[in-house]
Amino acid sequence: MHEIFDHTADLGLRVRAGGFEALCEEAAAGLTEVIAGEVSTIRPAVAEILSVAGTEPVWLLFDLLGELLAAFDLRRMLFAECRVSRTVDGLRAVCRGEPFDPVRHQLAHEVKAITQHELDVHQTAAGWEATLIVDI
């Protein structure tokens, strides 16, 4: 589950999931929703593998979302889904999507960056929770 909330001149994203990998997948869906609005318009036509190195959950999530944002900024890729798995040295995400098509996709926000402001990832009795702010 994720929710988007207003934060001064930015947008926030709160994410909850039962496991860390599911938290990353839900955060990826939330970021895509911030960028493109309706995720259901994105076809899972092309697969890309994104990898991030590290051990700390907060930086793994931060770096993964940075990779997703870079894929959009550099190649205009929007992802309908990401399947995340832990590796020995970090995370591996198999993301499926397609390039931005102005005929079928609408841009909701121009995301400039994933920020470290109020960045929080922690495990709870019910699973994992994250809060992050995106600069728009």
Q: In the block, which residue shows the tokens 């051990």?
A: 55
Question: Of the candidates 71, 69, 65, 70, which has an alpha carbon nearest to the alpha carbon of residue 84?
Answer: 65
Q: What is the pLDDT of residue 2?
A: 66
Query: What three-state secondary structure class fits 68?
Result: helix
Q: Specify the pLDDT at position 38.
A: 86
Predicted local confidence at residue 85, as pLDDT = 98
CATH class of 2-135: alpha beta
* pTM recorded for the entire structure: 0.92
What's the confidence (pLDDT) of residue 6?
63
Strands (E), 1-119: 2-7, 10-17, 46-53, 77-87, 90-99, 113-114
Q: What is the mean pLDDT of each run of 10 residues along the chain (136 residues)?
A: 66 95 97 93 96 97 98 97 97 98 91 92 96 92
Domain borders along the chain are 2-135
